[in-house]
Structure 1
């Protein structure tokens, strides 16, 4: 990306703003609580129909919490910097927000459709498996952001 300034055009890209990124993560308690509740559904001994219904609701909640989380992270957790200060992986992490949001949205739609058709309990294992796969990709994304924040802090202390 090029940014036009008073002195000319500067190639710019993104890096993380580690303090804001961590603050955003720490302050969205509903997001992490919802994730924990989803994980609890995986191990629940309640009737499948009840847990399936709960999981569908929690997935909807997770989608909404992630929309807010990603919007805040993109607005305050990533900053545009000159090319020489950039962290190439930061642009990738930022792009992952869109892919993850689309994935959770599609998962919610499939789960809601199964619930609407009365098949959520019958297809519970499928919903759980797809949710676990999404969770693994989201977890990898979170680890990437943590590494970027740690690296950014290390660079700042040099």
Structure 2
């Protein structure tokens, strides 16, 4: 049986790139708003409804973001070009569920807290910052995995 795809090549789907670009932009905008509010929790009581709604939107956008990554299988192409990256890719994929649970818990926590009280705002801001740090580390590791796979595919250093 003939395989038209050259062995060890990463392919890029243009429709996926457009969709993931729009998704990343929406995710970035939500995170920027939440980062600004969490950096100044004393202002959160004035924006508690917006903050709560934005956390809900983040939860939903993150679910979409992870489903896009998994449905379009960009990891599979990276793994095909470099099977030694398989364990790292599986670990990163497993983090999607963990990060989604954190985002869901943040949104639920915001709905249950009295965000008129500064102490509640500070606690929620700290909870968001822990989540944000974990998400940044995850996204950085995903990018690194893709770059390593591309380097190996393109033969950098040959």
Report TM bin, short chain.
Answer: 0.7 to 0.9
8 Å contact from structure 2 (residues 37, 51) kept in 1: yes
Q: Which has the higher helix share?
A: 2
The answer as to 2:80 corresponding to 1:85 is no
Whether 2:143 is the aligned partner of 1:146: answer: yes
Is residue 31–residue 66 contact of structure 1 (8 Å, CA) maintained in 2? Answer: yes
Q: Any gaps of 5 or more consecutive residues in structure 2?
A: 2-9
Return the offset for 1:48.
3.4
Q: Residues of 2 paired with 1:42 and 1:120: CA distance? A: 12
Aligned Cα root-mean-square deviation (Å): 2.6
**CA distance, structure 2, for counterparts of residue 148 and residue 126 of structure 1:** 34
Matched, 1:71 2:70: no
Q: Do 1:63 and 1:101's aligned partners in 2 also have CA atoms closer than 8 Å?
A: yes
Report the TM-score when normalising by structure 1: 0.76
Distance in 2, Cα, partners of 1:18 & 1:137: 29
Higher strand share: 1
- Aligned-pair distance for 1:152? 0.8
CA separation in 1, counterparts of 2:99 and 2:45? 27
Report the 3-state secondary structure (helix = DSSP H, G, I; strand = E; otherwise coil) of the residue aligned with 1:79. Answer: helix
| TM-score normalised per structure 2 | 0.76
In 2, Cα distance between equivalents of 1:31 and 1:79? 23
Distance 1:26 1:18 in 2: 17
Count of equivalent residues: 138
State the 4+ residue runs in structure 1 displaced beyond 3 angstroms: 17-20, 43-48
Q: C-alpha distance in 1, partners of 2:131/2:11?
A: 25
Partners of 1:18 and 1:61 in 2: CA distance: 31
Do residues 51 (structure 1) and 47 (structure 2) align?
yes
